Structure 1
Amino acid sequence: MPSTTSGAAAGGPTPPRAAPAPLDALTADNSALFLIDYQERMYKGVGDRDRNQMHRAAVAAAKAAAIMEIPTVLTLINAQWNGDFNAEVAAPFPGQEVIARTVPGFDALADPAVDAALRATGRRKIVLSGLWTSICMSFTALHVLREGYEVYGIVDAAGDVSREAHDTGVTRMAQAGVVPLTWMPLVSEWMADWSNPASGALHDQVYATYDIMMSMP
């Protein structure tokens, strides 16, 4: 697998080394969202969970990031075989390029265009998810860690061919230092509290649509 380019070669800033324990809160100003390979064939391979629930978690995270103007990187691999990036996940970012990875591997960050896009966000905390958990998501997350970022994995927006594959992928990432979380705590941490100016849009477009309790009459 070819190694990624350096920060200088990629034309972007090199992120500072992450602290061993990322304890400061995720905010709209210190984090970026990175969604990996949400494509038709990858969805069809998910066998460990309800695909619709997984999809809803990914869309909820994407909508929240768009509302809060959090920089986001979207990738796909081999569209001719795997299909296009899911339209509903991409919809919150109209006009944004979905990076078509040209390095034919499982690690999205091995692609120079992806590496450059992530560096261009200027953010230290990278919140990511993708298909499948134990391969593209996991391999990418470990690479992002090695580059010195703090990494958070949205585990309910990811899926794999089996429960064992998903769980071992999450365990491997967590043991390496990726912080696991689910979409609703992520959005709540981004928002911080209901006095946030984005809280109304988040309630109407995210919580009330994708959270079972808050969507009850």
Structure 2
Amino acid sequence: MNKYILDREDTVLLIIDIQDRLVKPMKYGEKVIEKTKILISAAAELNMPIIYTEQYPKGLGNTVSELEEVLKNGKRFEKVEFSAYTEEVKKYIQSTGRKKVIISGMETHVCVFQTARDLLSDGYDVFIVEDGVCSRAKENYVNGLSLMANMGAVITNTETVIFDLLKKAGTKEFKVLSKLIK
């Protein structure tokens, strides 16, 4: 059951390629931005490391401004590989000593899928936030989630992640974060 438990001291948030030119063709791009912003706020409030990647920013633009403004404590990595689990990201995650990775981003069936596969292969527990990822086509989104679930990733959602990290009501963190998901 440990694979299904999120603990703030053992978890990092990884945001994959939520960039200007990638968001435009995504039917649910704005929803992904909204849910990712909540995840960033939660990770910041709970003192969790935040990593975000940008796929070829020269061509695809930077991380959308709505997220850039709340990613001040995030660690940014540029990449050209589809998997966000590049050597630099791998070293950074290893340096945290944490073994659970929450993922949001684009696209579900390409960069998110390949990143999850690589993290699972390296022994990490991976949590895919289904309302925090998207693809241009619904079929690709559904297929990407199915592939990752079959590989052993936990398919979850923003609210489940937040409440699992919080563990209980009545705390200072609960008061701050519960306002974000109402």
1:142-153 maps to which residues of 2 (within 5 A)? 142-153=117-128
| Number of the residue aligned with 2:19 | 39
Letter in 2 for 1:40: D
Q: What fraction of aligned residue pairs are identical, expressed as a percent? A: 21
Kindly tell me the number of residue pairs found equivalent between the two proteins: 182
Cα distance between partner residues in 2 of 1:72 and 1:95: 7
| Number of the residue aligned with 1:81 | 59
Cα distance between partner residues in 2 of 1:90 and 1:29: 24
| Number of the residue aligned with 1:59 | 37
Larger helix percent: 2
Where does structure 2 lack aligned partners over 5 or more consecutive residues? none
Runs ≥4 in structure 1, deviation > 3 angstroms?
Answer: 21-24
Aligned match for 1:100, one of 78, 88, 102? 78
- Deviation for aligned residue 1:23: 4.3
Q: Per-residue CA shift, 1:115-138, capped at 9, x if unaligned?
A: 111212211111112200000000
Letter in 1 for 2:81: G
Q: Secondary structure at the match of 1:76?
A: strand
Cα distance between partner residues in 1 of 2:142 and 2:92: 29
Structure 2 vs 1, CA of residues 113 and 199 (structure 1 numbering), >3 Å: closer, same or farther?
Answer: same
Cα distance between partner residues in 2 of 1:23 and 1:98: 27
What value does the CA root-mean-square deviation take over the aligned residues? 1.6
Tell me, yes or no, if structure 1 residue 141 matches structure 2 residue 116. yes
Cα distance between partner residues in 1 of 2:175 and 2:153: 30
Letter in 2 for 1:30: D
Query: Please, what TM-score do these two structures have when normalized by structure 1?
Result: 0.79
Cα distance between partner residues in 1 of 2:3 and 2:11: 13
> Contact 1:22/1:150 (CA < 8 Å) preserved in 2?
no
- Deviation for aligned residue 1:96: 3.8
1:1-217 maps to which residues of 2 (within 5 A)? 22-23=2-3, 25-47=5-27, 50-94=28-72, 96-101=74-79, 104-109=80-85, 111-204=86-179, 206-207=180-181, 214=182
Larger strand percent: 2
Letter in 2 for 1:146: S
Letter in 1 for 2:61: G
Query: Please, what TM-score do these two structures have when normalized by structure 2?
Result: 0.93
- Deviation for aligned residue 1:87: 2.6
Cα distance between partner residues in 1 of 2:16 and 2:73: 18
- Deviation for aligned residue 1:192: 1.1
Where does structure 1 lack aligned partners over 5 or more consecutive residues? 1-20, 208-213
Q: Per-residue CA shift, 1:8-28, capped at 9, x if unaligned?
A: xxxxxxxxxxxxx54452121
> Contact 2:5/2:164 (CA < 8 Å) preserved in 1?
yes
